[in-house]
Structure 1
């Protein structure tokens, strides 16, 4: 038994275009056939109505010139009755003598024609047949006081047969024309799709390039696709840039602690005295903590440098509740460092649209930077206030040594540290703050503290109204 499955038919642009064209063409052919048959039948009706009227007038002229009592001349009867297929009917009646001749008694028209007027054409039903009749009234020359009514009728068979013949002739020609058009369409579609060959060749010739593929030779209809691919390439380039930058930053920042670890291990091995080993272990512990902190900050910086937050990742955060809780978690650490950490803010709700984890990283880095560089015995104050435009202002201010005014613009640079500062650090804290602020469409401002020290203020825009729920 054959267990192989039939492979699904792959989508084909050529097949889809032809299908899109064939279905409307088929519908148009059907509508054209109906229209052609209607036009042909109308034409046949006009021709037969004219012939039927002429027959009625000719017959009335022949009969009106005769003298007779109750019958018509043999020539006239031959003209009336001659129909090889037996589909002709006639009546000749006199106003005085009644029915004179006829092979069927035909109903009179709805309105009797006047003497000498044009024939009256009308439809009538006899047995199971629909007939088309022409009636004409003429005066009797042999009896001026009398008049003859001549009615000639025929079935609709000949009319429909002629309409079908015209339709068949038209259908054959139209089918041939459509076949030629479809052949041209097939050729044109294949020829038109060749405009994609330069783009295909350009993509096939690439190795690891992520440069844009859009160009002047790309058709307008394909441009939305190429622009989407270019946008994807741009995102990939950004991700690869972040990846390379993270590797470079990690190598730069971890080289010093790893070298120190190696030196202290070698020193302990070379001099295995207890006091030497203990001292080496203390240095190793400090270096390990430094490496761990640097690694954590590098990861935080990489997250902060990711593309802007999507709306679905953001929630409405009440900073008046979120910030005090986060500050409270850092109080014990500040006490151990000999720093007075405090909070000033309103109890009124103050909402911003953001990501809680990112904002917690922002606040932690601000507090950590202030506690680390302000020094023991200093004061660090976290302030939260509403802004006039409906946004929020979050600031962390210390009364430490501060930063020279000319160096304030460089505080957001990666690995930048003020010269003469002996505190350990990676120079990434405020860079992380800057990137997180940018992701939240906020502005980070660096200015001297009052009366001294450093104040870092993050100005958040007003939270937009929408379906987001407060967190």
Structure 2
């Protein structure tokens, strides 16, 4: 029951198309009925007006040939007054004798027609009943001094009835046409949706493949959907590749310290003397720290290699405020390591668009790399420079043993360590820096220091929007105030 209910509640593309077409077509059918009734009524009015004009002309000819002595003959009166429906009216007026005959006091038109001219058609009322009337002015053959104004009128009933009959016939035909169109549309949509069958079959035959599904047989209307799915597949492939790479890196980096831990534990168990146990525990502590650092750097590298930052995760960051605070937090560690850690930077703002946590990881790895490989008694300087074009540079320089020039291009490779180094590094620090810089559209360059040692520069581009620099300056000014 749940399955059938879920299935019935799913939206239907065919039903939605029919609904979207049925409502407008119903409105159009209603508007068409109104327009058809108006056209039919106009046509009926023209026919009846023509007949009414011909009738009044015939009536005028008939009465104008009689010798009227102020009245009509009984035969003429019978012909004029005969109306089985009771919907017709007439009046005959003499210009000398007044009303001669009629079954109603029909008003004359605003402008009396000329003798011998075409009838004048006009709307009028009789006892509150709307009528359509026609008047004609004719001469009397036997009395040249007198003339007759003959008026004939009828109600609008026959006109409206004829218009309704035409409308009914047109509505039946148009309704049948709409039903036929919707039936053809229902059949056509069903046939048209079969074009998706190859795509459905192609997806059904896949197991764990994440290759693109877009192809030449995909309709243009469905292509945005397939492109969205392909983009999702691409992100999934990258995430799975990142997952596999993390597993491979972890296996590569943790194999050696874990093997060393096992060997020292076995050595301590085999020789329980205090000095042997102490030596083994010291090696185990060193290997444990190395393993913990390697694991932390692997996680940091994985975060740095994740897809680009979303717009919601990015924000305006002033390096001139962030970098000094981050350097100050490493001073005590540098003192314990015997390293002189310093900072040089101006008062100008250095705005970047990015993620503060990632930029902290970038600085930590630069400082950690410099302190680790420069050694005790060295000097490590963190510099921040703001350029005139709005870009900025973060520089970490040390006076350690440096790196051979030919090896500088390889410093960003994963697990690369300069030969002859006595520090237990994982070779991931600068690789993490490179990945974080790429996520922030920054570039990393390596060069030898003026005297000795290594200089690493991360150049951040101008922020995306020109207003960003102004906003950063305003924020810096309020902060100082």
Considering the TM-score relative to the shorter chain, is it more than 0.5? yes
Distance in 2, matches of 1:453 and 1:5, equals 73
Q: CA deviation at 1:128?
A: 3.4
Match of 1:256 in 2: 256
Map 1:371-382 → 2, pairs under 5 A = 371-382=371-382
Matched, 1:445 2:445: yes
Partner of 2:66, secondary structure, is: coil
TM-score (normalised: structure 1): 0.96
Match of 1:392 in 2: 392
Partner of 1:92, secondary structure, is: strand
Q: Please list every run of 5 or more consecutive structure 2 residues that lacks an aligned counterpart in the other structure.
A: none
Distance in 1, matches of 2:290 and 2:426, equals 9
Q: CA deviation at 1:125?
A: 1.1
Partner of 2:265, secondary structure, is: helix
Match of 1:313 in 2: 313
Match of 1:196 in 2: 196
Match of 1:37 in 2: 37
Distance in 2, matches of 1:388 and 1:408, equals 28
Distance in 1, matches of 2:151 and 2:321, equals 104
Residues 4 and 250 from structure 1, CA distance in 2 versus in 1: closer, same or farther, beyond 3 angstroms?
A: closer
Match of 2:424 in 1: 424
Q: Are 1:123 and 1:133, in contact at CA under 8 Å, matched by a contact in 2?
A: yes
Residues 4 and 346 from structure 1, CA distance in 2 versus in 1: closer, same or farther, beyond 3 angstroms?
A: closer
Match of 1:227 in 2: 227
Cα-to-partner distance string for 1:13-64 (whole Å, 9 max, x where unaligned): 0100000111111111111111111111111111111111111111111111
Match of 2:359 in 1: 359
Residues 265 and 11 from structure 1, CA distance in 2 versus in 1: closer, same or farther, beyond 3 angstroms?
A: same
Worse overlay, 369-378 or 88-97: 369-378
Match of 2:434 in 1: 434
Partner of 1:29, secondary structure, is: helix
Matched, 1:103 2:103: yes
Number of residue pairs the alignment of both structures matches: 470
Distance in 2, matches of 1:369 and 1:52, equals 109
Q: Are 1:343 and 1:383, in contact at CA under 8 Å, matched by a contact in 2?
A: yes
Match of 1:49 in 2: 49
Q: Are 1:398 and 1:449, in contact at CA under 8 Å, matched by a contact in 2?
A: yes
Q: CA deviation at 1:296?
A: 0.4
Q: Which runs of 4+ in 1 moved over 4 A?
A: 2-8, 466-471
Q: Are 1:59 and 1:76, in contact at CA under 8 Å, matched by a contact in 2?
A: no
Distance in 2, matches of 1:345 and 1:301, equals 28
Match of 2:294 in 1: 294
Q: CA deviation at 1:352?
A: 2.2
Q: Are 2:253 and 2:426, in contact at CA under 8 Å, matched by a contact in 1?
A: yes
Q: Are 2:118 and 2:136, in contact at CA under 8 Å, matched by a contact in 1?
A: yes
Residues 219 and 401 from structure 1, CA distance in 2 versus in 1: closer, same or farther, beyond 3 angstroms?
A: same
Q: CA deviation at 1:365?
A: 0.6
Q: Are 1:341 and 1:379, in contact at CA under 8 Å, matched by a contact in 2?
A: yes
The CA RMSD measured in Å over matched residues stands at 1.9
Cα-to-partner distance string for 1:370-404 (whole Å, 9 max, x where unaligned): 11111222211111111232111111111111111
Distance in 2, matches of 1:149 and 1:38, equals 33
Q: CA deviation at 1:451?
A: 1.5
Residues 444 and 175 from structure 1, CA distance in 2 versus in 1: closer, same or farther, beyond 3 angstroms?
A: same
Match of 1:93 in 2: 93
Residues 242 and 160 from structure 1, CA distance in 2 versus in 1: closer, same or farther, beyond 3 angstroms?
A: same
Matched, 1:163 2:149: no
Cα-to-partner distance string for 1:107-162 (whole Å, 9 max, x where unaligned): 11111000001000001111232111000000010100110000000111111111
Q: CA deviation at 1:76?
A: 2.9
Cα-to-partner distance string for 1:406-454 (whole Å, 9 max, x where unaligned): 1111110111111222211110000000011111111111111111211
Distance in 2, matches of 1:61 and 1:415, equals 120
Q: CA deviation at 1:347?
A: 2.9
Match of 2:15 in 1: 15
Map 1:319-358 → 2, pairs under 5 A = 319-358=319-358
Cα-to-partner distance string for 1:326-362 (whole Å, 9 max, x where unaligned): 1122122222222222211113333222222111111
Partner of 1:144, secondary structure, is: strand
Distance in 2, matches of 1:82 and 1:191, equals 66
Partner of 1:197, secondary structure, is: helix
Residues 221 and 183 from structure 1, CA distance in 2 versus in 1: closer, same or farther, beyond 3 angstroms?
A: same
Partner of 1:214, secondary structure, is: coil
Cα-to-partner distance string for 1:62-101 (whole Å, 9 max, x where unaligned): 1111102122234432332222111110001101111111
Map 1:395-414 → 2, pairs under 5 A = 395-414=395-414
Partner of 1:285, secondary structure, is: helix
Q: Are 1:64 and 1:139, in contact at CA under 8 Å, matched by a contact in 2?
A: yes
Worse overlay, 193-202 or 293-302: 193-202
